[in-house]
Structure 1
């Protein structure tokens, strides 16, 4: 099987109640738009039937793959695990709740085709695209976190946290290998690394609807995200990213083949 043009990565933790519907919607979109695409679900140590549901769908769709983390590691780790195993020329990730409809991927792909290396979905560039808005307290938290992120990292994006991002393959292979944060704060780190490497990044307005089943805790996870912003700042000040980038350049690994599969279920490694 030849390698696909598009790889779609979905991190999933205890998503048995909605993963079937998510797969149905994405696969219907792939078929309707005639995308040359593969779909990778990364099960982050789920304790429910998430993995078995995905495996049942795999029997019908040869380009649907399940990757299993050995334990619960976090969304950042799961996205990284999936992206580094993806075979597509374009690699993107989306949340299992599909708050951004899958058809919106065309907007990200168009931005990459126009010449950028990284395209990130944004809920805030065009607020009229928000079909279901977040509760006020979540909006306030999100805006406060975005402000802190701008101050700490120097990034200028209005929405670093939208779980809808796409990368050219070569850029993804570099950026995600340098990622160190495994949980909620991984998005700003990816953008910080991409910016430091000189990759072209654009923010793309996307249609988005809030799902009130989100598991993020604004007290516990909010504190952790702020801690992770401090980690990014410390890593940068200590030269950790610069040393890692230099080491990759010295070994000619900045752009090459995908990493070796880590933990894949049932099917052999994706055809390269």
Structure 2
């Protein structure tokens, strides 16, 4: 079935970008996505979630906002993002966390604010170029609920290859993770995932992981809820400046994965509508 927006005012796609101290890259990323929207004539909205940055990330994003929009902090009294009307096919919205809460928190907040029929989460550095969305879309049209980009399939292209330390971390982490969670998925951590809006809301409204392993929890929750997940190889450009320390995070992964597995197994989904 073709991808269509449910109404003229509602975007077909929402793109959620978590950002922490991304002042050096966020302008280029937003300009690239805006150009993509213009080329494809596809209604998009972009939601940048500034996770307590100490640089000028939020100030740069505000230059892309509609005139009457402003970044919001996570105070419960402030309500949802403003949704100004306009002709732009790629409006940008900003959410600002009051402190650095973790990538998982930032992504979760953005996914639950998104209005699009289909919601893409992607990294602020566009390590997976935005055009790779075209590889994910056909699988949504075929009936998948969640399509995840992968750096570890035969048709994946890494240019340039990741540094040896990161490859060793990825191999070690994958071996441990597949014994505990999602054994059929090769790459849970690629920051390029497309969700149907219902799958995103059902999944992220139940998620609790704030750190970098939030992907594992979200995918395990989605699978538990019966959503169909498809993994697709994509083109990936390894960008310098990662804030994940390979050795330290690999050592932390095991207890976090065990906690996620216990929670997935113990949560009572009796009142949830389980898809078959």
Q: TM-score, normalised by structure 2?
A: 0.85
Corresponding residue to 1:51 among 46, 50, 58: 58
User: Counterparts of 1:67 and 1:96 in 2: how far apart (Å)?
Assistant: 14
Once the two structures are superposed, the pairs formed by residues 78-117 of structure 1 within 5 Å of their partners are 78-117=106-145
Deviation track 1:56-111 (CA, whole Å, cap 9, x = no partner) reads: 11148671000111211111110000000000000010001111000001111221
Tell me what 1:261 maps to.
none
Classify the secondary structure of the residue corresponding to 1:132: coil
Asked if 1:246 corresponds to 2:270, the answer is yes
Q: Which stretches in structure 2 are left out of the alignment for 5+ residues?
A: 1-7, 68-87
SS in 1 for 2:55: coil
Deviates more, 1:145-154 or 1:37-46: 145-154
Q: In structure 2, how many angstroms separate the alpha carbons of the residues matched to 1:127 and 1:144?
A: 22
Matched residue, 1:213: 241
User: Which stretch of structure 1 is more off in the superposition, 55-64 or 119-128?
Assistant: 55-64
Secondary structure, counterpart of 1:165 in structure 2: strand
Judge conservation of contact 2:20–2:53 (CA < 8 Å) in 1.
yes
Distance in 1 between residues matched to 2:271 and 2:15, nearest whole Å: 29
Residue 29 (structure 1) aligned with residue 36 (structure 2): yes
Moved more, 24-33 or 158-167: 24-33
Question: Whole-Å Cα distance in 1 between the matches of residues 178 and 152 of structure 2?
Answer: 15
Match of 2:192 among 156, 164, 169: 164
Q: Contact 1:118/1:168 (CA < 8 Å) preserved in 2?
A: yes
Equivalenced residue count is: 247
Q: Aligned residue for 1:65? A: 93
Shift of 1:36: 1.0
More helix by share: 1
Give the whole-Å Cα distance in 1 for the aligned partners of 2:64 and 2:176: 41
8 Å CA contact 1:184, 1:225 repeated in 2: no
Give the CA deviation at 1:31. 1.1
**1:260 alignment partner in structure 2:** none
Q: Please, which runs of 5 or more residues in structure 1 have no aligned partner? A: 256-272
Structure 1: which 4+ aligned runs deviate by more than 2 Å? 59-62, 219-227, 245-249
Distance 1:117 1:154 in 2: 16
- Deviations 1:3-46 (Å, cap 9, x if unpaired)? 10100000000111111111111111111111111000000011
Q: Which has the higher contact order (CA 8 A, sep 6+)?
A: 1
Aligned to 2:79: none
User: Quick one: which of 175, 193, 199 aligns to 1:147?
Assistant: 175
Alignment RMSD: 1.8
Please say which of residues 30-39 and 61-70 is displaced more in the overlay. Answer: 61-70
